[in-house]
Amino acid sequence: MFIDEVRIQVKAGDGGNGCMAFRREKFVPHGGPSGGDGGRGGDVILVSSLHYNTLLHLRFNPEHKAERGRHGEGSNRTGHTGADAEVAVPVGTVVRDDATGELLHDFTQPEERFIVARGGRGGRGNARFATSTHQTPTEHEDGRPGEEKRLQLELKLLADAGLVGFPNAGKSTLISRISAARPKIADYPFTTLEPNLGVVKMDDLRGFVVADIPGLIEGAHLGHGLGMQFLRHVERTRLLVHLVDLSDGTGRDPVRDFDVIMNELASFSEELVRKPMLVVGTKLDAAQDPERRLSLERLAQDRGLPFYAISSVTGEGVDTLRRAMGERLLAS
């Protein structure tokens, strides 16, 4: 199960109360106040980890609470500091305040640590209030409450290139040909129900990561289909690879398919349509009408976009596309 958005409640530990006490010991002629300070409450810390690739573990564990500080004690003993609560999140997680929508942190590297809720300060004991003119103070402080927040966590996969297009445009087949990823492939729409990542190796042993996004349809920005909810995963990419089906059996016009997807991308984010893009005509082995390819190629040329035609089944053009993607990414 791929979970890429959850809400959790975090509560830092409260500070311990300061103590009010007086020394009454044998052979100590002048006693005096001896109440210790309360301990500080523990923090709630989010830690990015490579051991998780979804937020599923937080869906069923939505509350996280740090330990409160111990109260101060007599003989000027300070209470123990409360233990921190560490919450592991995948790399690529964006943290927002659920009430205000404010961006709190964006995890882009493993082992990043971010204190999302700070523990309360411990209260002062009465020994802290003693002065030369006020030698028997009875004042002491309660500990401060720890911060409490409701957070929205959103996972955006870290990929260099994103594959977008209509359902059954050949995205899953392509990623299975150029990487070791093995997504589900079938001849019906919405075969891909969650994003897939694949690592593509170049001839010089360098590589890049490709994300296969569930297919978009017209009206996706209005909630139709599946893909729009996953487009956040291509927001971080440096290159979009727009796949358009050239086969004769779709009953659709490739040029219109291209325009529909571009409109849906723009409806989600104007930044997406401004990303570098390759236009790829797919299923060349099943394209009998050459005009379908030519019309899409002319459109790409008019927009100043590189065009490639491939068949993931026969392998025609796949290596050329793979090298073009790598050269574009590794040069940027």
> For the domain that residue 311 is a member of, what is the CATH number?
3.40.50.300
Instruction: Give me the CATH number covering residue 109.
Output: 2.70.210.12
Answer with the residue of higher pLDDT: 203 or 11. 11
Strand order in the sheet with 5-11: 63-65, 5-11, 148-155, 93-97, 103-106
Same domain, 146 and 169: no
**Could you tell me the residue range of the domain that residue 314 belongs to?**
161-331
The verdict on 116 and 30 lying in the same domain is yes
Residues 145, 169 share a domain: no
Same domain, 173 and 309: yes
Show which of 129, 155, 181 is a domain's final residue: 155
Judged against a pLDDT cut of 90, whether residue 78 lies above it is answered with yes
Whether pLDDT at 112 is above 70 = yes
Q: Among 155, 184, 218, which residue terminates a domain?
A: 155
pLDDT for residue 54: 80
Average pLDDT estimate for 98-111: 93
* pLDDT of 331: 75
The residue among 155, 189, 210 that closes a domain is 155
Please tell me which residue, 26 or 73, carries the higher pLDDT value.
Answer: 73
| Residue 210 contacts residue 198 (beta carbons within 8 Å) | yes
Convert the pLDDT of each residue in 57-72 to its tens digit. 898 899 999 999 999 9
Least confident of 78-87, 156-165, 216-225, 270-279: 216-225
The reply to whether 120 and 177 lie within a common domain is no
**In a shared domain, residues 139 and 222:** no
Q: Read off the pTM.
A: 0.70
- Please give the share of the chain, as a percent, with pLDDT higher than 90: 49
Do residues 105 and 242 share a domain? no
Q: Which tens digits make up the pLDDT trace of 178-232?
A: 887 564 444 434 444 467 778 788 776 577 888 887 766 565 445 544 555 667 7
Q: Do residues 117 and 254 share a domain?
A: no
Those residues whose C-beta lies under 8 Å from the C-beta of residue 57, and which sit 6 or more positions away, are 88
How many structural domains are present in the chain? 2
Residues 237-257: what's their mean pLDDT? 88
Q: Are residues 115 and 207 in the same domain?
A: no
278: closest CA among 237, 318, 240? 240
pLDDT of residue 192: 44
Average pLDDT over residues 169-176: 85
Lowest average pLDDT, out of 176-190, 240-254, 266-280, goes to 176-190
How much is the mean pLDDT over the chain? Answer: 85
As a whole number of angstroms, the distance between CA 130 and CA 168 comes to 78
Same-domain check for residues 252 and 309: yes
User: Closest by alpha carbon to 67, among 46, 85, 79, 54?
Assistant: 85
Q: Say whether both 277 and 322 belong to one domain.
A: yes
Tens of pLDDT along 205-219?
577 888 887 766 565
Mean pLDDT computed over 152-172 = 85
Closest residue by Cα to residue 233 from 209, 213, 255? 213
Contact by Cβ (8 Å): 160, 208: yes
- Based on the domain organization, do 123 and 186 belong to the same domain? no
